[in-house]
Chain A
Amino acid sequence: MRDVSSVTRSTPVATRPRPKTPSSAAGPLKRYRSSVGRKVVMAVTGAILFLFVITHMLGDLKAFLGREDFNHYSYWLRSVGAPALPHRVFLSSLEAGLVVAVILHIWAAVSLARQARRARPVRYAARPKVHENGYATYVMRYGGVVILLFVIWHLLDLTFGAVNPKGENATPYDKVIADFDPARWYITLFYIVAVILVGLHLRHGLFSAVQTLGWGRQGRYPAIRLVADVTAALVVLGFVAVPVGVTIGVLK
């Protein structure tokens, strides 16, 4: 028998776009390149960064216990594991881990943002109304960039001392006090704005990470949102406390 069906048409039947490499055929790590996979990367690295942020904040707050405590903590960070580990090995590996997390986090963020931009080539004429947390995409993306800039400045300032008034050889405590001198109010202000952005980032980020990792359920959402909101607020308060303390003279 012959193939007895025929069609006359000049327009080709739309061929189905095929995934470049289907996840099932990709390697165990490459799978995470799908849009959801990248979100998982973002959530996990975000969670690592979040843990860092919390520890960092608690460390900062030691400033209120006095100069000695703060400097000692700073020193301790560099000598954890001694004498088994050489000086700074622990901290450096922690830092290396954080750098990897930041890079992955930003890679995922940038590629998803680009995918989203490509996904809507023509915009709406009417300003799209925001019904839920649509604003979050802006806060996360533009806010993320500001946070990154802030982190770079922050490192240059306090870790390397390059932009710190006291230079790189001062003690950590002195650097901090010098930084937030009332005369340098604009630095304090920038710092506060950046911290608020981190707070907003976490407000959506924590909720989003829980959802991305598969734990979101209708009944749990109010609690998840509450925890995210409270945590974000605490982080903002915790980080703002030190500079404000310096500016108003509680810390000197």
Chain B
Amino acid sequence: MKLTLKIWRQQNTADKGRMVSYELDDVSPDMSFLEMLDILNERLILEDEDPVAFDHDCREGICGMCSLVIDGTPHGPEKATTTCQLHMRKFKDGDVITIEPWRARAFPVIKDLVVDRTAFDRIIQAGGYISAPTGSAPEAAAIPVPKDDANDAFDAATCIGCGACVAACPNASAMLFTAAKITHLGLLPQGQPERYDRVTAMVDQMDAEGFGGCTNTGECTAVCPKGIPLETISRLNADLLKAYRG
């Protein structure tokens, strides 16, 4: 396949950045999207040009490191699929593909397509945990958890923290990410003691980081590679209301 890539190039956070076009021949449909960029980079190095920086690590859809907006859609056209799991057979010969970084004030660009997502870590620091210091745990079987709750908690817990939800949201809101954690911990008996403090603190931190507010558009769930459901946001809202009412 022959492709034209329009890629966001930005030297560092301070740089203004711009779109640059590259032509690529000989792209095999069996390549993954990132392998296609590897090929481009190998060529750029030998041509004495700066290779394109992009984040990636596991390349199997679980670490949450890869993060490209492909033709306006975070993680590209295939549903429930991370960028690293996307393969070139989803594209056609002659396609022009636009590749951009996640766009949000809370995710400043580090270089090219790489952004700083430590805001997510700080939201977790604010309360996205259960305080259970090592050694203090009761016997694991002591508290049964209804299977349905365990399943729903698991579904929410599969969030990989990639940030696609923020990238897709018209408000650059981090609600789906935050709500996934609130839901995961809030559904388990172990998460109850800190439940209401957790939600207040995490929402405050989310605001302090400069994310937008949620307007329930559902764009986030449409691009989420793990299919975190919209109801997590409503569960967060319910918990927060309860916390505010005291």
Contact = CB atoms under 8 A, between A and B. Distances in A.
> When A and B assemble into the complex, do they touch directly, with CB atoms less than 8 Å apart?
yes
Nearest to B222: A131
B103 A124 contact: yes
A36 B213 CA distance: 7
Contacts of A38: 213
B173 A211 contact: no
A214 B238 contact: yes
Most buried by A among B6, B105, B125: B105
B241 A126 contact: no
Interface string A178-211: 0000000000000000000000000010011011
A130 to B, nearest CB: 7
B234 A215 contact: yes
A22 B72 contact: no
A235 B240 CA distance: 31
A133 B206 contact: no
A34 B203 contact: yes
Interface string A1-18: 000000000000010111
B201 A131 contact: no
Given A19-B204, A24-B201, A129 B73 contact: yes
Given A124-B72, A217-B234, A19 B208 contact: yes
A212 B237 contact: yes
Interface in B213-227: 213-219, 221-223
A39 interface: yes
B19 A125 contact: yes
A132 B206 CA distance: 23
B33 interface: no
A69 to B, nearest CB: 40
Interface residues of A, number: 55
Contacts of A121: 105
Nearest to A28: B246
A40 interface: yes
Contacts of B104: 119-120
Contacts of A204: 216
Contacts of A154: none
A129 B231 contact: no
B15 to A, nearest CB: 12
A216 B235 CA distance: 8
A24 B235 contact: no
A217 B218 CA distance: 13
B69 interface: yes
Interface stretch (B36-44, B53-61, B164-172): B164-172
A40 to B, nearest CB: 6
A32 interface: yes
Contacts of A39: 213-215, 237
B90 interface: no
Nearest to A22: B204
B244 A37 contact: yes
B237 A40 contact: yes
A218 B231 contact: yes
Interface of A: 14, 16-20, 22-24, 28, 31-32, 34-40, 112, 115-116, 118-134, 136-137, 140, 204, 207-208, 210-218, 221
Given A119-B106, A119-B171, A132-B221, 12 more contacts: A17-B209, A23-B244, A34-B204, A40-B244, A112-B212, A122-B17, A125-B8, A125-B98, A134-B219, A216-B231, A216-B234, A218-B230
Interface of B: 6, 8, 17, 19, 69, 71-73, 98, 100, 103-106, 118, 122, 125, 168, 170-173, 175, 197, 200-201, 203-219, 221-223, 229-231, 233-241, 243-244, 246
20 contacts: A17-B210, A22-B204, A31-B244, A34-B204, A35-B207, A35-B211, A36-B203, A119-B105, A119-B172, A119-B211, A120-B171, A126-B98, A131-B223, A132-B219, A132-B221, A132-B222, A136-B217, A212-B216, A214-B234, A214-B241
